[in-house]
Amino acid sequence: MIRATLFLWVAVLASSLSNVLTRRGMVAVGPLEDYRPGPLVRYGLAAVTNKHVLLGLVAGAVNFLLWLIVLSWADVSWALPMNAVEYVVTAVLAIAWLKERVSPRRWGAIGLITVGVACVMGSW
């Protein structure tokens, strides 16, 4: 149980990093505003060549590999709800790195999720 929990926490961190890095990269690329084929291809190339998007992709791949390992050790009915801790980690990283504002309502929702995770964690 300890190793599955440890790997799961690292996977959650990798997933949160993936989301925050990808968001940072996409802010630099800018919003998609032209859906014609040429501009759409150029936009896609700008996105996939952005260093933060690429680092986000690497972090996402690390998350996926760790998730495979976790699922080889633990029940998915335990592991998947535990993955919800990612909401907390991502919110904290978004505040710290992206300077996002997380409203009290969002924090309340994240708190409810955290209570659910605590209930599931105790059921192993």
Query: Per-residue DSSP letters for 23-41?
Result: HHHHHHH------SHHHHH
| pLDDT at site 124 | 62
**Alpha carbon distance 90, 87 (integer Å):** 5
Give the predicted TM-score (pTM) of the model. Answer: 0.89
The per-residue pLDDT for range 36-50, each reduced to its tens digit, is 999 999 999 999 999
| pLDDT at site 118 | 85
